Chain A
Amino acid sequence: MKLFPKYIFLSILFLLFINVYGQEIKVYDQFSDFEPLLQKSNDTTYVVNFWATWCKPCVKELPEFQALNKKFKDQKFKMILVSLDFKNQVETKVKDFIREREIQAEVVLLADSKQHLWIDKVNPEWSGSIPVTLIYNDNFNFFKEGSMIFEELNELITNNIKK
């Protein structure tokens, strides 16, 4: 019984740690279940970035997105980082990466292997390489295949976010 309070104390510490940097990652096996994240219709501006831990330019640009998320997260703004990592690496590689990089934006994993059926649904201009970034709200749509920097992102959000 003496151990009990200590156990609770450690658990709370552990949970706090998990909550801050060790988020659960939702895995989408079917694109159709994931697709609503690209079609939300409300007053929020969404930034959706497709990336992977194995993608060097993606990893390089992530701090730019983290800075953007930090600046706007308390406004009508939502960032979703869509990992295209391999499903069997979610619990290891992807989670470790998120914890190490202290990523706070929501991370999901899209595992639908029939890529040719969903690439065009994300955007017909997309050839299939990553990183790719979509920014959208009710009256604004942006798509870019290739890396982005904070200044570019910041300007797009500042000009289009709803007050």
Chain B
Amino acid sequence: MKRIILSMVSIILFSGALLADGYQVGDKAKDFKLINIDGEYVSMADYKDAKGFIVIFTCNHCPYAKLYEDRIIGLDQKFKAKGYPVIAINPNDSVKQPEDSYSNMIARANDKGFTFPYLLDADQSIAKTYGATRTPHVFLLQKDGKKYVVKYIGAIDDNAKIPDEVEEKWVEEAIASVREGNDPDPNFTKAIGCSIKWAE
């Protein structure tokens, strides 16, 4: 009887985990194969030497995404060599938000000189699986063998509008913690952003 109750409890807990929206810190993140602005497909598995990834759901149109473009380039330049490259993913439906179309992604990346892949999540399944809700939305992943463990979810820093007044560089601090083998603190932050434009 005890065993039956236990298994029932675990089924309930397990189905709860399945129903939960997206990843939480500690979860294993799914790899993806998405088209980049250069027409090639990119997966995390392609990066043999990476220690982890700064996966950022972002887009062209959103003013908050724009505010962070230079800082995202800065993150990639600072951490790619240390084994934590940026992978940017645009999750928006281009029917709802034409500015976020694939051709506009290419134009934007060229204008800004993106140093990292800028991928299109055309069916929005990666954004859904990860639980991204807004742009920009960061998921810091740490490679553990062939797994990708979520270490931090949230904003890049604590001041979108005024870079000079940033007091806490959460992503940078999280990477520093992870590199030292520690868990980031905080490992989850919130910020205002544009809602992801889901297809209808």
Report the Cα distance A22→B41, complex, angstroms.
Answer: 51
Assuming the contacts A127-B134, A129-B134, asked whether A84 and B192 have C-beta atoms less than 8 A apart, the reply is yes
Taking a contact as CB atoms closer than 8 A, the residue among B165, B189, B197 that contacts A116 in the complex is B189
Q: B195 touching A116 by the CB < 8 A rule?
A: no
Q: Give the residues in chain B near A131, CB-CB below 8 Å.
A: 195
Q: A119 touching B63 by the CB < 8 A rule?
A: no
1/0 contact string of B90-104 vs chain A (CB within 8 Å): 000000110000000
Stretch in contact with the other chain, from A6-14, A51-59, A95-103: A51-59
Determine whether B162 belongs to the interface, using a CB cutoff of 8 Å to chain A: yes
Report the Cα distance A84→B158, complex, angstroms.
Answer: 16
Determine whether B119 belongs to the interface, using a CB cutoff of 8 Å to chain A: no
Q: Give the residues in chain B near A128, CB-CB below 8 Å.
A: 133-134, 155, 190-193
Q: A113 touching B162 by the CB < 8 A rule?
A: yes
Q: Which of the four size classes fits the interface of chain B?
A: 20 to 34
Report the Cα distance A57→B154, complex, angstroms.
Answer: 22
Determine whether A130 belongs to the interface, using a CB cutoff of 8 Å to chain B: yes
Q: Give the residues in chain B near A116, CB-CB below 8 Å.
A: 154-155, 158, 189-191
Determine whether B160 belongs to the interface, using a CB cutoff of 8 Å to chain A: yes
Determine whether A114 belongs to the interface, using a CB cutoff of 8 Å to chain B: yes
1/0 contact string of B121-153 vs chain A (CB within 8 Å): 000000000000110000000000000000000
Tally of chain A residues near chain B (CB < 8 A)? 20
Of all chain B residues, the one with the shortest Cβ separation from A147 is B195
Interface residues of A in 96-142 (CB under 8 A from B): 113-116, 119-120, 126-131
Of all chain A residues, the one with the shortest Cβ separation from B66 is A54
Closest-CB distance, B43 to chain A (whole angstroms): 27
Q: A54 touching B134 by the CB < 8 A rule?
A: no
Report the Cα distance A84→B97, complex, angstroms.
Answer: 20
Q: Give the residues in chain B near A130, CB-CB below 8 Å.
A: 192, 194-195
Q: Give the residues in chain B near A129, CB-CB below 8 Å.
A: 133-134, 192-196
Taking a contact as CB atoms closer than 8 A, the residue among B160, B162, B194, B196 that contacts A55 in the complex is B194
Closest-CB distance, B133 to chain A (whole angstroms): 4
Closest-CB distance, A34 to chain B (whole angstroms): 14
Q: Give the residues in chain A near B158, CB-CB below 8 Å.
A: 114, 116
Assuming the contacts A54-B63, A113-B159, A113-B165, asked whether A146 and B191 have C-beta atoms less than 8 A apart, the reply is no
Can you list 12 contacts pairing A with B, beta carbon distance less than 8 Å? Answer: A57-B195, A84-B192, A114-B159, A115-B190, A115-B192, A116-B189, A116-B191, A127-B134, A128-B134, A128-B190, A129-B193, A145-B195
Interface positions of B (Cβ within 8 A of A): 61-63, 96-97, 133-134, 154-155, 158-162, 165, 189-197
Closest 9 CB pairs of A and B: A129-B195, A129-B134, A127-B133, A119-B190, A128-B190, A115-B192, A54-B63, A113-B161, A115-B191
